[in-house]
């Protein structure tokens, strides 16, 4: 995910900005840049790839006087990871860095282009600096121009802006994306998008609230709130532990990543939805020509997300779809036809088994597509086409936001294909797109639900096993819920299709067998309910997850009433993730690094 730093003071600003960006490396990035205003002159540097490339470019640049500077690490979402798309973005005499998404950027850009402004990048961010300079032409106050610009932006942002006419001022604004300012006894000012770059430099920090904006100079720090009223900063002591600072106040990276799913999915959707069309600009329009069948291959969580795709591709796009666990596919001399599109799914893009199946498909002359979170990974480099999930770095070994963004991509891809095959009507596509736009809100963790699951978890720390059950896409979700639980709690858990329980597993039913039942209101509710009743009648302990109250359950996790089963899917996904997390915490396990597991499995 992108990172921001800013500095105002007399020290070596280049070193401070680069050092700050280094502290944000853990968030992941694919390009970086800085801009420094010293003695009235701007110097700006950008580089793709690792920070070492930026360090190399700046090696002869000296900052030994008072200066102001801003810096950024970019994780490409809108536009490829190129130098032109890297921040800071330049206007005539100003630079900006930005985290978040400017939702109305296309409309602003259109107007600016009509007025003669030339854009250098494909980013949403660049509109900020041009809009600011346009406003500056119509007012004598730089701050007024900045404020007007902020008022004109819609979406989420943390912004730092510097301009030649104000040699000692950094302008800032925050809404929806985190940012803080740090101070010390030497009267320096530091900005960052998380605590870590400030540790060791600052003693006190002020975390900006949504809609805060203002400016700093060597002697002033002025903040306004959303009503335009000046407000007092609220300084607190800065943490000193870097690892806990990286977790942004969460206990574990997994927990942080569960909460980050709102932003991750918003990034996944960004630029890919029109009102009545799904767009994948990264795909060649001929990708599906001559294709009569799709084969999906993956491991672990990625396999589960792909299993949901088998339901969605057949339902929406009427495309024959099958799936294989990559480690099985490799050695069974599979039949591969040229009319088959081979899709691999991987968070890391490095999983050995999945990578090998991709090589096999390429050798067999199949068209290949990878759905991946890591640009430039082995699979991305090898496949003919690629869709990036844009989940940001996932540190917890137990995958959460990678799964959420993969399923989102599959839902969109099923519609993209349905558009091409005209297997859904334009009205149906429009309806699905409206639902997709609601996914970020449906993965927002509610405090009440988290607290409830925390309390509930104490009843599920023992027993002789868990069955997670569901039908249709809720079967892969059940598999994923079971995988999450076993990975981090070390309790035995299985995912099962609910209708299959009576064909064997029901023999295990007793009060010490815990059934986690996924009961979506909008998909096969009555069928699934009967299966759960069969288990309840045999005294299995039932924890139902549904929006409809269920009197046969011992425990009940209520999700909000949703418009569609896919939104119920995402609501339940969060509940399952939290349940595993809280059980693991109570058992005293290392949630982020469970025993025997590695984040990226690069061996067979």
Active-site positions read 2, 599
Closest residue to ligand M6R: CB criterion: 300
Residue 347 binds ligand M6R (CB under 6 A)? yes
505 phi, psi to nearest 5 deg: -60, -25
Q: Is 515 in the site for ligand M6R (CB under 6 A)?
A: no
357 binds ligand M6R (CB under 6 A): no
Decide if residue 399 touches ligand M6R (CB under 6 A).
yes
Residue 278 is encoded by which pair of tokens?
């799904």
Least separation in angstroms between CB 258 and ligand M6R: 12
Nearer to ligand M6R, 297 or 424 (CB): 297
Using CB under 6 A as the binding rule, whether residue 398 contacts ligand M6R is answered as yes
Q: Does the footprint of ligand M6R cover residue 354 (CB under 6 A)?
A: yes
Considering the complex, state which of residue 419 and residue 600 has its C-beta at the smaller distance from ligand M6R.
600
* Contact status: 299 vs ligand M6R (CB under 6 A): yes
Which is closer to ligand M6R, CB of 167 or CB of 599? 599
31, 346, 498, 584: which one contacts ligand M6R (CB under 6 A)?
346
In terms of CB distance, is 351 or 498 closer to ligand M6R? 351
The answer for 472, left when phi > 0, alpha when psi is -120 to 50, beta otherwise, is: left
- Of the two residues 382 and 601, which places its CB atom closer to ligand M6R in the complex? 601
Binding of residue 580 to ligand M6R (CB under 6 A): no
Give 400 or 423: the residue with its C-beta nearer to ligand M6R.
Answer: 400
- For 24, 427, 509, 571, the CA distances from 194, given in Å and listed in that order, are 8, 43, 48, 28
- Binding status of residue 593 toward ligand M6R by CB under 6 A: no
* 302 is an interface residue for ligand M6R by CB under 6 A: yes
**CB nearer to ligand M6R: pick between 283 and 352:** 352
**Beta strand segments in 329-420, E:** 340-346, 367-372, 385-388
Examine residue 370 and tell whether it contacts ligand M6R (CB under 6 A).
no
Q: How far is the CB of 353 from ligand M6R (least distance, A)?
A: 8
Contact between 99 and ligand M6R (CB under 6 A)? Answer: no
* Of residues 439-498, those binding ligand M6R (CB under 6 A): 483, 487
300 binds ligand M6R (CB under 6 A): yes
Binding to ligand M6R in span 518-537, by CB under 6 A: none
For strand 204-207 and strand 180-183, is the pairing parallel, antiparallel, or unpaired?
antiparallel
Q: How far apart are CA 196 and CA 209, in angstroms?
A: 18
In angstroms, the CA 444 to CA 442 distance is 6
Size of the site for ligand M6R (CB under 6 A): 17
Find the part of the chain contacting ligand M6R (CB under 6 A) among 55-63, 188-196, 202-210, 393-401. 393-401
Handedness of CA 122, 380, 591, 581 (dihedral sign): positive
Question: Could you tell me if 300 and 599 are in contact, meaning their C-beta atoms sit under 8 angstroms apart?
Answer: no
Round to whole Å and give the CA distance between 77 and 388: 9
Q: Which residue, 291 or 361, is less far from ligand M6R as judged by CB?
A: 361
By C-alpha distance, which of 108, 180, 116 is closest to 149?
108
Tokens 């978890």 appear where?
A: 457
Q: Which stretch binds ligand M6R (CB under 6 A): 128-136, 216-224, 395-403, 490-498?
A: 395-403
Distance of CA 140 to the CA centre of its chain: 40
- Binding of ligand M6R by 305 (CB under 6 A): no
3-state helix, strand, coil in the chain (%, to 5): 40, 25, 40
Place of tokens 């799964």: 403
406's enclosing H/E stretch is: helix 401-421
The b-or-e profile of 252-283 (16+ CB within 10 A means b, else e) is bbbbbbbbbbbbbbbbbbebbbeeeebebeeb
Q: Using the rule CB under 6 A, which residue among 31, 38, 327, 348 binds ligand M6R?
A: 348
Query: DSSP state, 369?
Result: E
Query: 102, 369, 397, 443: which one contacts ligand M6R (CB under 6 A)?
Result: 397
| Using rule CB under 6 A, residue 351 touches ligand M6R | yes
The answer to whether residues 1 and 16 touch, using CB atoms and an 8 Å cutoff, is no
Q: Binding of ligand M6R at residue 301 (CB under 6 A)? A: yes
Output Rg (C-alpha) for the chain, integer angstroms: 25
Residues that bind ligand M6R (CB under 6 A): 299-302, 346-348, 351, 354, 397-399, 483, 487, 597, 600-601
């Amino acid at each position: 995910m992108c990172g921001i730093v800013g500095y105002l003071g007399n020290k070596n600003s280049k070193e401070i900005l680069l050092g700050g960006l280094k502290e944000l490396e853990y968030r992941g990035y694919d390009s970086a840049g800085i801009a420094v205003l010293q003695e009235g002159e701007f110097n700006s540097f950008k580089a793709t790839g690792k920070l070492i490339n930026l360090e190399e470019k700046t090696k002869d640049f000296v900052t030994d006087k008072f200066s102001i500077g801003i810096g950024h690490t970019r994780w490409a979402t809108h536009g490829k990871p190129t130098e032109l798309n890297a921040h800071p973005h330049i206007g005539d005499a100003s630079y900006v860095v930005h985290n978040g998404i400017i939702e109305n950027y296309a409309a602003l850009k259109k107007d600016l282009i009509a007025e003669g402004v030339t854009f250098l990048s494909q980013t949403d961010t660049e509109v900020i600096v041009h809009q600011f300079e346009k406003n500056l032409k119509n007012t004598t106050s730089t701050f007024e121009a900045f404020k007007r610009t902020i008022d004109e932006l819609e979406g989420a942002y943390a912004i730092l802006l510097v301009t030649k006419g104000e040699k000692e001022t950094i302008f800032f604004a925050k809404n929806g994306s985190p940012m803080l300012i740090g101070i010390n006894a030497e009267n320096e000012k530091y900005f960052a998008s998380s605590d870590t770059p400030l540790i060791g430099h600052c003693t006190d920090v002020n975390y900006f609230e949504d809609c805060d904006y203002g400016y700093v100079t060597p002697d002033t720090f002025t903040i306004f709130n959303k009503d335009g009223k000046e407000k007092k900063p609220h300084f607190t002591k800065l943490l000193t532990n870097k690892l806990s600072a990286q977790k942004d106040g969460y206990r574990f990276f997994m927990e942080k990543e569960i909460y980050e799913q709102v932003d991750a999915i918003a990034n996944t959707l960004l630029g890919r939805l029109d009102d009545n069309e799904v767009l994948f600009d990264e795909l060649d329009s001929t990708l599906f020509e001559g294709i009569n069948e799709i084969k999906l291959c993956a491991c672990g969580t990625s396999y589960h997300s792909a299993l949901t795709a088998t339901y969605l591709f057949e339902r929406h796009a009427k495309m024959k779809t099958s799936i294989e666990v990559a480690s099985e596919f490799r050695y069974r001399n599979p039949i591969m036809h040229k009319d088959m599109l081979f899709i691999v799914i991987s968070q890391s893009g490095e999983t050995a088994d999945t990578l090998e199946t991709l090589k096999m498909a390429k050798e067999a002359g199949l068209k290949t597509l990878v759905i991946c979170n890591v640009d430039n990974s082995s699979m991305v480099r090898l496949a003919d086409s690629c869709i990036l999930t844009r989940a940001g770095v996932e540190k917890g070994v137990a995958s959460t936001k990678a799964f959420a963004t993969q399923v989102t991509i599959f839902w969109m891809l099923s519609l993209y294909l349905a558009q091409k095959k005209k297997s859904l009507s334009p009205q149906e596509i429009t309806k699905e797109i409206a639902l997709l736009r609601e996914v970020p809100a449906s993965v927002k963790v509610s405090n009440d639900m988290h607290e409830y699951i925390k309390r509930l978890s104490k009843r599920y720390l023992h027993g002789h096993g868990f069955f997670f059950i569901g039908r249709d896409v809720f079967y892969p979700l059940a598999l994923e819920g079971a995988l999450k639980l076993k990975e981090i709690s070390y309790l035995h858990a299985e995912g099962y299709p609910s209708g299959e329980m009576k064909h064997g597993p029901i023999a295990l039913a007793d009060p010490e067998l815990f059934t986690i039942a996924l009961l979506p209101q909008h998909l096969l509710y009555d069928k699934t309910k009967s299966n759960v009743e069969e288990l309840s009648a045999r005294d299995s302990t039932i924890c139902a997850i549904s929006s409809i109250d269920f009197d046969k359950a011992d425990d009940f996790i209520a999700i909000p009433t949703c418009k569609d089963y896919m939104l119920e899917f995402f609501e339940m996904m969060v509940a399952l993730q939290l349940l595993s997390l809280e059980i693991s915490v109570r058992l005293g396990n290392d949630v982020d690094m469970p025993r025997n597991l590695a984040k990226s499995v690069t061996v067979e």
